[in-house]
Amino acid sequence: MNLHVSPAATVSGSIEVPGDKSISHRAAIFGALAQGTTRVSNFLRAGDTLGTLAILRELGATIRLPDNPAEALEIEGNGFDDLHTPQSTLDCGNSGTTTRLMMGVLAGQSFCSTLGGDASLSRRPMDRVQIPLSQMGADIRGEGERCTPPITIRGGDLHSIEYAMPVASAQVKSAILLAGLRAQGTTTIIEPAPSRDHTERMLRGFGVEVQTQNDHVSVRGGQTLYATDVSVPGDISSATFFFVAAALRPGWEVTVRGVGVNPTRTGVLDVLRAMNAEVLLSNGRESGGEALADVTIRGRTLQATEIGGALIPRLVDELPVLALLATQAQGTTLIRDAGEMRVKESDRIAVITRELSKLGARIEEQPDGMIIYGPTKLTGTIVSSPKGDHRIAMTLAIAGLIAEGETTIENADAVTSSFPNFADLLEQIRK
């Protein structure tokens, strides 16, 4: 599927984005592991999360997804021990989150299972999960030295570990915590920098005691999850595309209502402020341990900045579209310490450098990031997103708002994996 975007005279509007993908994945998985019926409202209905539901059904969970999106998803669970041997390879599609979290779940099961996925997922290394789970006693084998899918897991009796993570990653942390719930003793993770803490917050909502102190996160094995109701906030990663759209030009403005503003996810707001965009939060509230707010972004003359260090885990998924924003800033923006971008759905450092350059951006690829020179005029042309990389496709669509002439994005199908109504919302704000 190709997506065609014409330049906007202005950008304005008030919109809502779909439910947070990270939280939707976790709500479904935890609900399947809990005792009782969990109800999840505003669950993201997209390719990745629906794939997670299919896997949970294959493992024995009873799941009811009403046709009406306004009605809550219901998951009936009966604990870890109620999961059973799947009849075939569990298809994770293109979802790294599904793969890594399910590795943690399956590591403590007595049966053998295999996780597979599409061609893109089959190139993504899973050794950062394999290593700690193997230390806990699971037998996990993938392809090659980096343990790429398909991955076969022979779970069993696990023992607790203390594990210092070499790279901050919420997905790796979550996998270890899920395995730790099935291990003897207390499992402790030491983070090199703060990463998303949705798992810790949600586990507490399901009745699990999780200890956090400074950079240590600990969970005691043998605890039971109890069903609860979960309300999923709007996805700040999805909202970021519209934040950036508003920030691209002085006078443009967008409000996104009901966005999750968990402090471990708001690095993008810090960068927008550093680049001189106006950021306003209103109607703050809390749901299920997660902070929400209505977020308004107003465009002003942009200034270059530096993005790196502890900020990276708080916005790694937003870096492609922030690179686009940097093309319109006064001065030179440096993105560093972001080597993680190379092992996402595509090598995002290489791809975004190449595709924005086609539009006229002055951008240099670095081993762990990019150097972006601005401001530069962009000109519409044919650009391409790697198959399966939704964030690249959406970034290029936002670029089309300020590029002279029409921008055509090839391979835009992947947008449905995280943001099915993206194109509709884009048309809504483009005036």
375 preceded by cis ω (within 30°)? yes
Q: Of residues 127, 317, 413, 424, which has the active-site annotation?
A: 317
Classify residue 394 by its DSSP letter.
H
Phi-psi region of 236 (alpha: psi -120 to 50; beta: other; left: phi over 0): alpha
Alpha helices in 184-266 (DSSP H): 198-205, 236-247
Q: How far is CA 203 from the centre of its chain?
A: 18
Q: Is residue 19 helix, strand or coil?
A: strand
Residue owning tokens 């209103």: 282
CB 115 within 8 A of CB 150: yes
Q: Which of 35, 15, 22, 25 is nearest to 73 (CA)?
A: 25
Say if residue 282 is exposed, middle or buried (CB neighbours under 10 Å; 0-12, 13-18, 19+): exposed
Measured between alpha carbons, how far is residue 83 from residues 77, 112, 171, 241, 427 in Å? 9, 12, 21, 38, 44
How far, in whole angstroms, is CA 44 from its chain's centroid?
Answer: 12
Hey, is 259 helix, strand or coil?
strand
What SS3 class is residue 1? coil
Q: Tell me the three state secondary structure of residue 368.
A: coil
- Angle of helix 96-106 versus helix 170-180 axis, rounded to 10: 20
Q: Is 317 a catalytic residue?
A: yes
DSSP 114-148: EEE--TTGGGS--HHHHHHHHHTT-EEEEETTTTE
Q: Are the C-beta atoms of 387 and 411 separated by less than 8 Å?
A: yes
Give the residue numbers marked as catalytic. 317
